[in-house]
Amino acid sequence: MGKVTLIGAGPGAADLITVRGARILSEAQVVLHDALVSEDMFAYCPNALRIEVGKRCGKRSTAQLFINRQLVDLAGKYERVVRLKGGDPMLFGRADEEMQALEAAGIAYEVVPGITAALAAASSIRKPLTKRGVSRSVAFATQAKGKEGVDVELADEAVKADSLVYYMGRDQAAAIAAQLIAAGKPADTAAWVVEAVSTAQERSHGFTLGQMARGDALAWIHPDQPCLLMIGQAFARRAGEQRHPEGLAAFESAA
């Protein structure tokens, strides 16, 4: 049996993968990768067999059970197998299901962390996730599905967090903002959308929570780009701050 390594590719830019991740990727014989992994990333493993097993919201995706079986099967054929995941494997990456499959088959594996999109986005818009006297708690959230497949309300912990970063919330932006306002967050709370962070397609735009609830963010969001919703007063404009080429100028005019 070979060894499987789950590697976090980071938010998009190929040079944001960790040194360890790049080294192990260069030694891989076969790489199962997400749909959003940058093409530039494969310069680290030019001779490896590449298998796309990505998942895209609203588009044809690879079933998780099939990915699990492939990992097990390939570990029986190759010594060095890499499962390359966007962001960090341990955050909304279904790593637990893949690790369980490998453990059940008795296959050795390792996990190499990556930079999750929230951290890259905070750096890109120059807004810390935590801020002394303003934000002492951060929640990473995604929309949950109930038994009937219907979106359910945000968890109390997410609502109460000073800074909330919402993954895969593009289509629910207005509903999420409305829920937060109904739960007591002020309508003038800063609310950012950051798309395709760290890639050539990156865009960002600042709103208020009230504007997001009204549908302004959904009208701006690109329908095919991955995006984050970043909500909280830590993301508000600082006194004397230089204008961001797009986002801060928009936020100033909206405030």
Q: What is the pLDDT of residues 161-172, one digit of tens each?
A: 999 999 988 888
Q: Catalogue the active-site residues.
A: 34, 55
Does 187 score more than 80 pLDDT?
Answer: yes
CA triple 18-21-23, angle to 5 deg: 110
Please tell me the predicted confidence (pLDDT) of residue 251.
39
Please tell me the predicted confidence (pLDDT) of residue 157.
72
Q: What is the distance between the alpha carbons of residues 64 and 241, in angstroms, rounded to a whole number? A: 45
Q: What is the distance between the alpha carbons of residues 184 and 229, in angstroms, rounded to a whole number? A: 18
Please tell me the predicted confidence (pLDDT) of residue 253.
37
Residue 9: DSSP 8-state: -
Q: What is the distance between the alpha carbons of residues 182 and 246, in angstroms, rounded to a whole number? A: 29
- Helix or strand run (H / E) with residue 203: strand 203-208
Please tell me the predicted confidence (pLDDT) of residue 252.
38
* CB hemisphere CA count around 110 (13 angstroms): 12
| Out of 23-32, 45-54, 110-119, 151-160, least confident range | 151-160
Cβ atoms within 10 Å of 134's Cβ, excluding its own: 14
This prediction has a pTM of 0.87
- In terms of residues, how long is the chain? 255
Does 255 score more than 60 pLDDT?
Answer: no
Does 67 score more than 90 pLDDT?
Answer: yes
Contact (CB, 8 A) for 125 and 45: no
Does 220 score more than 90 pLDDT?
Answer: yes
Q: Is 110 helix (H, G, I), strand (E, B) or coil?
A: strand
Please tell me the predicted confidence (pLDDT) of residue 152.
56
* CB hemisphere CA count around 169 (13 angstroms): 30
**How does residue 91 score in pLDDT terms, banded at 50, 70 and 90?**
very high
Q: What's the whole-number mean pLDDT along residues 214-240?
A: 92
